[in-house]
Amino acid sequence: MLENISDPRYFLMIDETINHAWVLALMRKDFTNGNDLCCLVITRFANYCLSIQCLLKFKKELQQIFTCTKLVESSHGKSKVGKEIATIIL
């Protein structure tokens, strides 16, 4: 299961979008009260587990981000990668 989450076809696209500074600032300010979705730890296995926990904890907020007007109308939301990620998240 964790192998699929780290699949470069999905994880890298999601990681690049989530970690983009503007998107990250929007998420922190408007949706997660300053919390991050991912925590970095020493081992890759623990990182995947903690990332899954954070994504589940903020599932509703993450879905709201990808439907909010600010993101949908931005260049990130209109890009091919942004649309693919929105499809995955929603």
Q: Is the pLDDT of residue 21 over 80?
A: no
Query: pTM score > 0.75 for this model?
Result: no
pLDDT band at 1 (very low <50, low <70, confident <90, very high): very low
How do residues 35-49 score in pLDDT, each as one tens digit? 777 666 667 677 778
Confidence of residue 8 (pLDDT cuts 50, 70, 90): low
- Measured torsion, CA atoms of residues 71, 76, 77, 78, in degrees rounded to the nearest 10: 140
Highest mean pLDDT among 6-20, 31-45, 50-64: 50-64
Cα(43)–Cα(45) distance, integer angstroms: 6
